[in-house]
Structure 1
Amino acid sequence: MTALVVIAYYRGLPDLEVQIHALAQQDYDGFFEVVISDNEGSDELAEYLEGHPHRELLALRRVDSSDVPGTTHARNVGTRAAVYDFIVYCDQDDAVHPSWLRAMVEAGREADIVGGPLERETLNDPVVAAWRELPDPAEPFVMGRFLPITFGCNLGIRRAVFDDVGGWDESYPTAASDVEFCWRVQTAGYTFGYAPEAMVAYRFRTGLRETWAQVVDYGREEARVAKQYSAPGRQWWWFPIHAGVSLGTAPIWPWAWSRKKVGQWVWITGNLVGRVRGSVKYRTVYW
């Protein structure tokens, strides 16, 4: 099976180098090409790729997707830049494990859309890594008590299926686009597969303000996609529990204001705030 790796790019240097190095270590023995979809229109990126030592090994290529901002647009442009049997997506600031591509392609022989787990230890310092729990790597993550999803930084799909469903929905520029894509593929009758060996080292944001903005966006747009697909979400009694956890983790006393404690509070509370905002904005109830 021929494979195309697509990376959506926006102001991604120098972190992109870590991902490209990881792709060069893959144990996959088939041919694959790596397309960097440049959503910035960066001369710096073009120069960087032109002289990269892994350019031939990875068949590195840049395509310009700077006409419309957004990760989903970049992924669509990158995917349509070439015809391969199987498309896999990873992000510019993460690092795929050596077995990643092989495991994704193998899972893609049996399923139409596939995903794998994330780990937080490799690319984050221990304090930042403690801010956010990641799903159990042993099994796929079911979102909103509806259908399994995989994150956009670790997703594979057959090209024929991508074309049939119309690609990524660009009305979701970033947040919840992966949830919407996974649910749309499955509700169209296609199968979901999971590859536990397709591990990706996931990089957290390290600033508290940008982490807050990210998690609020996640919660708000998850409410939108839940309404779109009539996903039930958590039961009504989850809201006071979540609110109680938020209050319980709040670093009230000065001695408790460690970076680890504040980061955990930001993640829990930001998710709650995002879901409340999304429920109001999209006129739904999604906890």
Structure 2
Amino acid sequence: MIAYYRGLPGLAVQLDALARQDYEGSFEVIVSDNEGSTDLQRYLDRYPERERLRLRRVDSSDVAGTSHARNVGTRAAEYDFIAYCDQDDAVYPGWVRAMASAGREHDLVGGPLERDSLNDPVVASWRALPDPDEPFVMGRFLPITFGCNLGIRRTVFDAVAGWDESYPTAASDVELCWRVQTAGYRFGYARDAMVAYRFRTGLRETWPQAVEYGREEARVAKQYGAPGRRWWWFPIHAAVVAGTAPVWPWAWSRRRLGQWTWVTGNLAGRIRGSIRYRTLYW
């Protein structure tokens, strides 16, 4: 299932990746249109692998946000296991097979991300991704998977009331993962369910994303009582940010500017979130 908003022409990369799946069973691809785009419908009608993918659009444009789009798309699905991917990424050929296999034994499933396929080397260096060999534990609490690579049983989705739409974008995946697990359901990790993850390529787009991630992670950490990093992490992080601040930013390489922007934006977001939600989350 793909939550869609102003995703053309890049959506073709993800659809082409889904068309290359080696899964021998049947599946459908739902594009949940959070924009209300007539261009999208025309594009899907002409997509050459439409029949093979059982491709269809559902309208979720009544409420803005990825969480709402995913809820609408999930409730329109025909199958009892739902796998989510994003409009600007590309799943690996074995993704559906690996997700479906893990979904037979687990209630919620995640997989790894890689950064090199869809990003130029400079942009790929801006952010580190979690170790692909094991699930990522967020906030020293419980494992999570990212919304661009997440699978859930439909019965579990219904039992926990789906995605929390008060988290329209950032940290919605963390909140869902923790809610499912604290309700007693099983989390599984599908090592072979790899997704090529696309970063934002501009510094002006990267900064607000980093801030939003940090801020909303603080919110969900307070909601579930996650301790976050140990207290001494904050002064170390702050010292690194201050010590590497660009005195003459125009003399920095794009690689170094991008790395500093992401780290600093995430710290700023955690500080803002700690103030807004009256918690200490580093």
Matches of residues 249-260 of structure 1 in structure 2 within 5 Å? 249-253=244-248, 256-260=251-255
Aligned partner of 1:22: which letter? A
Residue 3 of structure 1 corresponds to: none
Contact map agreement 1:223 1:284 (CA 8 A) in 2? yes
| CA distance in structure 1 between the aligned counterparts of 2:207 and 2:36, rounded to whole angstroms | 28
Return the offset for 1:255.
7.1
Task: Tell me whether 1:73 sits opposite 2:59 in the alignment.
Answer: no
In structure 2, runs of 5+ residues without a counterpart are none
In structure 1, runs of 5+ residues without a counterpart are 1-5
| CA distance in structure 2 between the aligned counterparts of 1:253 and 1:83, rounded to whole angstroms | 56
Aligned partner of 2:202: which letter? G
Q: Deviations over 1:176-213 (max 9, x none)?
A: 00000000000000010001110000000011011000
Residue 140 of structure 2 corresponds to: 145
Q: Deviations over 1:79-103 (max 9, x none)?
A: 0012312000000000000011111
Aligned partner of 2:135: which letter? P
Task: Tell me whether 1:103 sits opposite 2:129 in the alignment.
Answer: no
- Classify the secondary structure of the residue corresponding to 2:98: helix
Aligned partner of 2:138: which letter? M
Q: How many residues align?
A: 282
Return the offset for 1:220.
0.3
Contact map agreement 1:149 1:182 (CA 8 A) in 2? yes
Q: TM-score, normalising length from structure 1?
A: 0.97
Residue 259 of structure 2 corresponds to: 264
Residue 165 of structure 1 corresponds to: 160
Which of 186, 200, 205 is 1:205 aligned to?
A: 200
| CA distance in structure 1 between the aligned counterparts of 2:111 and 2:249, rounded to whole angstroms | 40
Return the offset for 1:245.
2.1
Which of 13, 16, 19 is 2:14 aligned to?
A: 19
Which of 130, 133, 155 is 1:135 aligned to?
A: 130
| CA distance in structure 1 between the aligned counterparts of 2:56 and 2:249, rounded to whole angstroms | 51
Return the offset for 1:256.
4.5
Cα distance change of structure 1 residues 256 and 136 upon mapping to structure 2, 3 Å threshold: farther
Contact map agreement 2:249 2:257 (CA 8 A) in 1? no
Matches of residues 1-287 of structure 1 in structure 2 within 5 Å? 6-253=1-248, 256-287=251-282
- Classify the secondary structure of the residue corresponding to 2:32: strand
Return the offset for 1:144.
0.3
Question: Percent identity at matched positions?
Answer: 78
| CA distance in structure 2 between the aligned counterparts of 1:43 and 1:248, rounded to whole angstroms | 50
Contact map agreement 2:171 2:216 (CA 8 A) in 1? yes
RMSD of aligned alpha carbons: 0.9
- Classify the secondary structure of the residue corresponding to 2:52: coil
- Classify the secondary structure of the residue corresponding to 2:49: coil
